[in-house]
């Protein structure tokens, strides 16, 4: 995947693309893969980096959604479980089975959640991971040695999937690129173009080269998450807002707070929320919240009350109470929830995906979740074919392998998430052993990975590497700031940048990462 080549292909296109996609998160990337796999010509434009927004800030679960089961939304759970199974097969290098234990502190919770999880197993059917079962108090403590033991009666264990969200995003971008799609990051859609009142393309601003150009397309898909109303307004000034924003935050703790392999799932906190504490990349991710916000931005910040909520519950369910000094990173993401009508509150909003076609033919895809990105893509490309009069071709992503696909064991654990690319990164180290050095003692990431990110994964900035190609920012924000100069050196050499660029990159990254350090509270929800 090469940015210069993609840009040249966009600028020299002599006929309209069949499908233009605005937004490079889960929704847009999935749509690009689907359309390109059907044989349509595709161009995708992302204003920042792939998965810069919500798609790098999830709880990292490939799941049916136990919470939706509680709400009785069986069709949503069923679809998500089906997609969980497909994604596990199509990206085995990124998705693995994760055990979750629901600790029970009342006599009725065991049978209650036990039956609920059996229904979950049944819905998953043949695509199920492992059957759920009841655990005695002793077995619960064996699985979660640090779970709060006072009044603990037992537990229920079940399985869901876990993944690396932004790495899947990069792999989807590579998959689409290999299928012939033009994939461009740092290209913002600034205008919807029309001919005879029908959408005919987009105007795009490339922030790297500071150039603006028009791209013609037979269909245009707006997959911009919490930003979809901005694009809808470009199409029709008078259109009503369809999105309500709900923020969710996570705290990252050292592994010692959850030393085993199982995660903790609290189906209902005192105020009715679902809470997870999940082992992830030798750390523990605890979250999340569901806080309605009026505004939105590319860099949302956790509110003090959200941090307090997660901390209080971490203390309640773990034997050792984490203190502020234990928090390695705090990250926030924004759910784009579709309003039924003006004034709905976020709890009552749809968690399902929606496709809306405007009078001029702009197709908006929003809502849903990472787990169901493939089905969302299938539905939106079916719609695009109808709206734009494209040849109707069958979706072929159900069993399609995603870039990096392999079942083979990767000998170097830190390279597991690269799948088949791991070998190529090892070859870089063979040809230059200095690339085997780590970028920082706190991270397993080796210098060769950064070279790979620049050459093959369209990483353009220090943030692209530390936040999304590796997960250093989420795993240890303070240490990631220390790693920034090494990453800037490697990127500058690959991208042909000078010392000024390096200094500016380190400054910008430091500013950003300070917002992920726990001691830097926000009051507005925005950076």
Position among 10, 41, 54, 174 found at the interface with ligand FAD (CB under 6 A) = 54
Residue 400 CA to its chain's centroid (Å): 20
Q: Does the footprint of ligand FAD cover residue 371 (CB under 6 A)?
A: yes
- Count of alpha carbons within 13 Å of 512, Cβ hemisphere only? 23
User: Rounded to 10 degrees, what is the CA torsion of 49, 513, 308, 263?
Assistant: 60
Position among 6, 98, 224, 358 found at the interface with ligand FAD (CB under 6 A) = 224
Residue 321 sits at φ, ψ, to 5 deg, of -75, 120
Supply the minimum distance, in Å, between the C-beta of residue 213 and ligand FAD. 14
**Residue 39: left if φ>0, alpha if ψ -120 to 50, beta else—which one?**
left
Q: Does the footprint of ligand FAD cover residue 85 (CB under 6 A)?
A: no
Report the relative pairing of strands 363-367 and 211-222 from DSSP bridges.
parallel
Nearer to ligand FAD, 6 or 426 (CB): 6
* Residue 337 vs residues 242, 351, 385: alpha-carbon distances, Å: 8, 6, 25
Q: Does the footprint of ligand FAD cover residue 302 (CB under 6 A)?
A: no
Q: Point out the residue whose Cβ comes nearest to ligand FAD.
A: 25
Supply the minimum distance, in Å, between the C-beta of residue 83 and ligand FAD. 9
Partnered with residue 192 across adjacent β-strands are 202
Per DSSP, the three-state class of 219 is: strand
Both tokens of residue 16? Answer: 């309209």
Q: Does the footprint of ligand FAD cover residue 188 (CB under 6 A)?
A: yes
Q: Which of residues 232-291 bind ligand FAD (CB under 6 A)?
A: 248, 288
Q: Which stretch binds ligand FAD (CB under 6 A): 13-21, 106-114, 218-226, 470-478?
A: 218-226
Q: Which stretch binds ligand FAD (CB under 6 A): 23-31, 109-117, 120-128, 417-425?
A: 23-31
Nearer to ligand FAD, 190 or 386 (CB): 190
First to last CA, the chain: 31
Nearer to ligand FAD, 109 or 160 (CB): 160
Nearer to ligand FAD, 380 or 450 (CB): 380
Binding-site size for ligand FAD (CB under 6 A) equals 39
Nearer to ligand FAD, 371 or 446 (CB): 371
Per DSSP, the three-state class of 1 is: coil
Residues 6 or more apart whose Cβ sits within 8 Å of residue 115: none
Supply the minimum distance, in Å, between the C-beta of residue 485 and ligand FAD. 27
Give the separation between CA 14 and CA 29, rounded to whole angstroms.
24
Name the residues that contact ligand FAD, by CB under 6 A.
22-28, 45-48, 52-55, 57-61, 63, 188-189, 223-225, 227, 231, 248, 288, 298, 333-335, 366, 368-371
């Amino acid at each position: 995947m090469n940015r210069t080549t993609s840009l040249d292909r966009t600028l020299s296109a002599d006929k309209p693309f069949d499908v233009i996609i605005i937004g490079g998160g889960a929704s847009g990337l999935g749509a690009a893969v689907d359309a390109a796999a059907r044989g349509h010509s595709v161009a995708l434009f992302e204003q920042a980096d792939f998965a810069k927004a919500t798609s790098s800030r999830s709880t990292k679960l490939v799941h049916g959604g136990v919470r939706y089961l509680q709400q009785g939304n069986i069709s949503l759970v069923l679809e998500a479980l089906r997609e969980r199974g497909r994604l596990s097969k199509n990206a085995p290098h990124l998705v693995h089975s994760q055990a979750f234990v629901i600790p029970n502190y009342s006599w009725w919770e065991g049978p209650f959640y036990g039956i609920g999880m059996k229904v979950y197993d049944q819905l998953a059917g043949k695509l199920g991971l492992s059957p759920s079962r009841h655990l005695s108090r002793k077995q619960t403590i064996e699985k979660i040695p640090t779970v709060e033991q006072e009044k603990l009666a037992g537990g229920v264990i079940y399985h869901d999937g876990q993944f690396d969200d932004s790495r899947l995003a990069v792999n989807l971008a590579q998959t689409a690129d290999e299928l012939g799609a033009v994939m461009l990051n740092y290209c913002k859609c600034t205008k919807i173009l029309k001919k005879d009142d029908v959408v005919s393309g987009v105007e795009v601003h490339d922030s790297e080269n500071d150039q603006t150009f028009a791209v013609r397309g037979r269909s245009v898909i707006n997959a911009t998450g919490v930003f979809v109303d901005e694009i809808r307004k470009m199409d029709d000034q008078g259109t009503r807002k369809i999105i309500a924003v709900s923020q969710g935050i996570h705290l990252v703790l050292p592994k010692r707070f959850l030393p085993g392999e199982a995660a903790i799932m609290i189906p209902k906190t005192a105020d009715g929320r679902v809470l997870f504490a999940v082992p992830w990349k030798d750390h523990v991710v605890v979250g999340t919240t569901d806080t309605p916000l009026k505004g939105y931005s590319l860099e949302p910040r956790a509110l003090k009350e959200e941090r307090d909520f997660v901390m209080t519950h971490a203390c309640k369910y773990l034997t050792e109470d984490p203190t502020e000094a234990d928090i390695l990173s705090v990250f926030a993401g924004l759910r784009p929830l579709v309003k039924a009508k003006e004034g709905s509150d976020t709890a009552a909003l749809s968690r399902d995906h929606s496709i809306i076609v405007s009078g001029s033919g702009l197709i908006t895809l929003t809502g849903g979740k990472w787990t169901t990105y493939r089905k969302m893509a299938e539905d939106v490309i079916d719609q695009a074919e109808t709206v734009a009069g494209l040849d109707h071709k069958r979706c072929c992503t159900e069993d399609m392998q995603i870039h990096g696909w392999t079942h083979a064991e990767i000998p170097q654990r830190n390279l597991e998430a690269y799948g088949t690319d791991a070998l190529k990164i090892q070859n870089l180290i063979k040809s230059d052993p200095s690339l085997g050095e780590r970028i920082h003692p706190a991270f397993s990431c080796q210098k060769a990975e950064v070279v790979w990110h620049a050459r093959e994964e369209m990483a353009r900035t220090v943030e692209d590497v530390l936040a999304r190609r590796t997960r250093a920012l989420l795993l240890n924000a303070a240490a990631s700031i220390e790693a920034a100069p090494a990453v800037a050196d490697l990127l500058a050499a690959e991208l042909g940048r000078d010392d000024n660029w390096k200094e500016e990159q380190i400054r910008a990254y430091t500013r950003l990462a300070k917002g992920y350090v726990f001691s830097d509270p926000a009051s507005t929800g925005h950076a």
